[in-house]
């Protein structure tokens, strides 16, 4: 399975970017993982989504404050379900900029997730998203990273 993390706005913290890159590297034994930051960034509804977002075999997840929240165990079960579903080849996670996600992204997403009831700065949300996806895969693999 391929996991793609898409962000709308460029981050400000090189330290967080380094941590995110580390979690993406950690994910690679479990799946093909990558970050997409399209060079052509539109504002609002004009956002230029990468082609992978609209492919029929892609499961589209938009991070939105009004979305559903998941525990780490619940997320690992979701990941397991995606891995077992032959029609899903790629799972894309989209995180918006400081003003949320464009309507075009929200309308085309299969699911909307919220990382927290509180508002998180974009860089921190980016790190939490990638870490939680890694944690979900680690739980499935029986890796001791997750302590419960």
What pLDDT does residue 39 have? 62
Does residue 73 carry a pLDDT above 70? Answer: yes
User: What is the reported pTM?
Assistant: 0.92
Rounded distance between C-alpha atoms, residue 96 and residue 65, angstroms? 11
Tokens representing 146 are 């997750």
pLDDT (0 to 100) of residue 98:
79
CATH 3.40.1280.10 assigned to domain 2-141? The reply is yes
Bridge partners of 111, per DSSP, are 61
Angle, alpha carbons 99-5-129 (nearest 5°): 70
pLDDT digits (tens, 9 = 90+) for 6-35: 998 888 899 999 999 999 999 999 999 999
- Domain locations in the chain? 2-141
């Amino acid at each position: 399975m391929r996991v793609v993390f898409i962000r709308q706005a460029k981050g400000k913290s090189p330290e967080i970017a380094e941590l995110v890159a580390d979690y993406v590297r950690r994910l690679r034994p479990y799946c093909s993982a990558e970050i997409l930051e399209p060079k052509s960034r539109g504002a609002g509804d004009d956002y230029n989504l990468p082609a992978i977002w609209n492919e029929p075999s892609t499961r589209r997840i938009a991070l939105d404050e009004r979305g559903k929240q998941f525990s780490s165990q619940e997320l690992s079960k979701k990941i397991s379900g995606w891995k077992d579903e032959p029609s899903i080849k790629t799972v894309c996670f989209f995180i918006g900029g400081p003003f949320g996600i464009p309507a075009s992204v929200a309308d085309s997403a299969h699911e909307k997730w919220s990382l927290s009831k509180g508002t998180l700065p974009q860089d921190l949300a980016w790190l939490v998203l990638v870490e939680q996806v890694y944690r979900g895969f680690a739980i499935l693999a029986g890796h001791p990273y997750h302590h419960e």
